[in-house]
Structure 1
Amino acid sequence: MATKTRTVVTALFGKDRRFASDMIGVRELIRDGLGQERIRGVCFYVWDRPHDMSTDDRPGHQLRVNVDESAAWGAINFVEEGEGGGVWDTHNPEPPANVPTVWFDATTPTPFERSAVLPIDAIHDAVAEFCRTGRRPECLQWQGARWF
């Protein structure tokens, strides 16, 4: 009989790391991650243990999300290391003319491309899917990324 491995979602809010391994905790991490715009966004990791940011021991993937909460838009950058990996941003094939600037990293300042910005509901669904699967979400479209 196979034993199910527990997964842990790690969310990096700047220098503050938070962890969750149950549905309620994961929902709180997602809510907090999408609740306000952050200078460098929020990075999510899904693994069999908390990700401690060690360079020699890491899960091999990262989902970075940032939002413009006042306009209810956001964007995601996904990095997958190893064979078959790459770097992608969300893709909006028809961004409206008035889509807000969503920052990949506001300190540099580096915005996401307009074509990466999606309504917050789509961003929420994708982050929730990632937290369940640990894989690049399939509920939306992706494009090659400029930044990682």
Structure 2
Amino acid sequence: MTTVDTATVLTVMFDQHRGSQYAYTPEETATLLGRVVTESTEGNRTTLVTVWDRPARSHHDEGEPQYPPTYLRVAVDPNTGWGAMTWIDLTAGDVLDTYNPTDSTDRPALMFAADTPSYFPRSASLPLERIRHALGSYADTGTRPTTVQWQQGHLVL
């Protein structure tokens, strides 16, 4: 009987200064996802998080960029305790932002991209613990987290 190795690699693409980081074990994954929710993205682009059968590479990495067909973009502000995510599925053409149905007047508008600048809608902001939980779900399954609600988003490159 032949078995197939179905191991996955978690890739986190921080900004160009911090580069890409990879996790291959549950312990490495927990540590890396901890960094995603504790290191602010304010003033930078969002952090990309992928789960794939190999490391993903951005245009900041050596070699040609390689992205899986699905991934998350994450913005966090640990100082305020809020974060937001965008689910991108290039195969299906889906671009979805997290959705928080509660009143959004007290939530910050988190920066999606600094060079534009572009912001997530306030309705996308979630407490960081919910972002952490959703990222853990994504790392475990490689699919869009069902632990949070989603709304139509827009892709900003």
- Give TM-score, length-normalised by structure 1: 0.91
Q: Find the partner of 1:51 among 53, 56, 76.
A: 56
CA distance in 1, matches of 2:49, 2:155: 17
Partner of 1:126: 134
Partner of 2:25: 22
- Give TM-score, length-normalised by structure 2: 0.86
Assess if the C-alpha contact under 8 Å between 1:10 and 1:18 holds in 2: yes
Asked whether 1:68 is paired with 2:77, we answer: yes
Structure 2: runs of 5 or more not aligned: 59-63
Q: Which amino acid aligns with 1:59?
A: P
Q: Which amino acid aligns with 2:6?
A: T
Change (3 A) 1:67 1:58: closer
CA distance in 2, matches of 1:138, 1:77: 13
SS in 2 for 1:30: helix
Structure 1: runs of 5 or more not aligned: none
Partner of 1:103: 111
Deviation at 1:147, TM superposition (A): 2.9
CA distance in 2, matches of 1:139, 1:91: 11
CA distance in 1, matches of 2:103, 2:48: 24
Assess if the C-alpha contact under 8 Å between 2:104 and 2:123 holds in 1: no
Deviations 1:12-45 (A, max 9, x none): 0112011001011111111111112221121011
CA distance in 1, matches of 2:142, 2:53: 10
Deviation at 1:4, TM superposition (A): 4.0
Change (3 A) 1:147 1:85: closer
Question: Sequence identity of aligned pairs in percent?
Answer: 34
CA distance in 1, matches of 2:69, 2:99: 22
CA distance in 2, matches of 1:31, 1:95: 27
Alignment RMSD, CA only?
Answer: 1.5
CA distance in 1, matches of 2:23, 2:111: 26
CA distance in 2, matches of 1:86, 1:125: 22
Partner of 1:137: 145
CA distance in 2, matches of 1:58, 1:35: 24
CA distance in 2, matches of 1:58, 1:97: 35
Asked whether 1:117 is paired with 2:125, we answer: yes
Deviation at 1:132, TM superposition (A): 1.1
Deviation at 1:105, TM superposition (A): 1.1
